[in-house]
Amino acid sequence: MTFNVRGYFHNFIFLTSVLLTVSSLYAQEDTNDIWEAAATGDITRLDEIVKNDPNKINAPDTSGSTPLHHAAWTGQIETINWLISNNADIDSQNNLQWTPLHWATRNGQTQSVKLLLEYNAKVDIQGNLNQTTLHLAAKHNLEKLVTILLTAKANPNKPDIFGQTPVHIAALENYTPILINLLENGGKIEAETIWGATPLSAAAARGRTSAVTALLIRNANVNHRTNLGWTPLFSSVVGKHDSTTALLRKNGADINVVTEPGNTLLHAAASSGMNDIITELLELSFDINSEDAGGRTPLDYAKDNLWDKTVILIKSKGGMTGSKLTLHHAAFSGKLEMFENLINDKADISQRDDWHLPPRNWTPLHYAAAGGNLDAITRLIDLGSDIRTIDYLGRTPRIIAIENRQTKAVELLKKWEYSPKITKISHAGQMHFEVVGIAGTECEIEASTDLKNWTIISTVKLENGIGKFFDSRKALIPKCFYRAKNID
């Protein structure tokens, strides 16, 4: 009897699933059709689909974009009118938080933008990375759209997630007409990003002479300091931008800048091989062997950046390499005794090399990976170094090891990257925390009181890469250590 019942339900479910599959296929065809109809301006087909199911007027595709997004992107003016008149959500945001107005702006669809604004589309909604339509228009050099958006009261000072305003973007890209337009319509010339950079800082770092000129004419602060103490001149020299450097100096840039990590302009010039500036600074009695927070001298930077002629010049003036020891360089060189001494002296294992020129934002683990020093890598990880931490270019220590052809270091770091990691630790009478790792895997939670003998106390499944652990034991242990291990 059980078999027959199972057989009956098996057949029933099979037939039902076929019907549902066919039905869903037709529904998907209709849904696909509505986006294509919107993009191509097929109002007749749109009308058929929406009459059959009014909710499809705002049907999202796989990216969360509605028919209005598609019509706005392709500039289908009549279709935009039709969709809005049939209750399309004018400010609908897709999976990346872009609205139809964002899409129209990004694709340079002037008429779409004008029409959406006439229908009162919100002009300052923040999309992906908190960027507004004005960010997009500035980024893609769309002068006419910048004017249209400003006329619609778009805010030229709205920051994205990095604190960059449209003014920063225009300065960075050297789109001077847009930059001037933004400034003349309320854009703040001294707006700062999350790292303390102004539009002049951004333009100088890229060597954007036209934008730098426009900003200086409007009295931008030529000696503004970022969070790390970089001035526009310092940034320009690090970037080896001769014209911008000369322009900034003519406008009163201070050559005696010293950054927070202790870099001088001589360090900057050595890092970029600007020998004329080096010669001039030495004639002004700059200290040729000045060490920054990383123990690096101008000669170190000339060597690191392979400026052979600069190395010869600095050596001829008495330049020497630095003598200060850092955890970073001990990790790179594999000098384990020095490394352990620095650890014992409470050196910060997560310290970024904010002194380095050009900037790269490496931790000691990045250095150990670059040097292929397995003992240093293991020690740093045991001490809690983040194996997934990234530098300014988004590179983890393992990527650095790959780039430096440190095969054994690559394998070691790969093993650790795949290991689950304990995070969000909390203790309210009993221990609980989250375990982060590869989605769908399972791991064992082990506990120890001496870091030698480990006992399995639980298993955790990492649904979507995260699992929660709660230690229900009631034993009062003064000190208990935990670790998570993959179950093979």
pLDDT (mean) for 48-75: 95
pLDDT (mean) for 68-80: 98
pLDDT band at 446 (very low <50, low <70, confident <90, very high): confident
C-alpha 59/C-alpha 78 separation (Å) is: 19
- pLDDT value of position 450: 67
| pLDDT tens digit sequence for 340-382 | 999 999 999 999 999 999 999 999 999 999 999 999 999 998 8
pTM of the complete model: 0.79
C-alpha 279/C-alpha 442 separation (Å) is: 62
Bridge partners of 486, per DSSP, are 443
pLDDT band at 470 (very low <50, low <70, confident <90, very high): confident
- Helix 364-371 with 407-417: angle, nearest 10 deg: 140
Cβ contact 133:166 at 8 Å: no
With a pLDDT cut of 70, the percent of the chain lying above it is 90
| pLDDT tens digit sequence for 419-433 | 777 777 776 556 778
C-alpha 276/C-alpha 309 separation (Å) is: 12
Q: Is the pLDDT assigned to residue 122 strictly greater than 60? A: yes
What's the DSSP call for residue 387? T
Cβ count near 187 (within 10 Å): 25
| pLDDT tens digit sequence for 220-278 | 999 999 999 999 999 999 999 999 999 999 999 999 999 999 999 999 999 999 999 99
pLDDT (mean) for 139-165: 98
Burial class of residue 175 (count of CB atoms within 10 Å of its CB; 0-12, 13-18, 19+): buried
Which residue did the predictor score with more confidence, 430 or 289? 289
C-alpha 420/C-alpha 487 separation (Å) is: 10
Burial class of residue 439 (count of CB atoms within 10 Å of its CB; 0-12, 13-18, 19+): exposed
- pLDDT value of position 26: 36
Q: What angle do CA 223, 228, 230 make, to 5 degrees?
A: 30
C-alpha 270/C-alpha 300 separation (Å) is: 8
Spatial neighbors of 260 by CB under 8 A, at least 6 apart, are 227, 228, 229, 354
- pLDDT value of position 240: 98
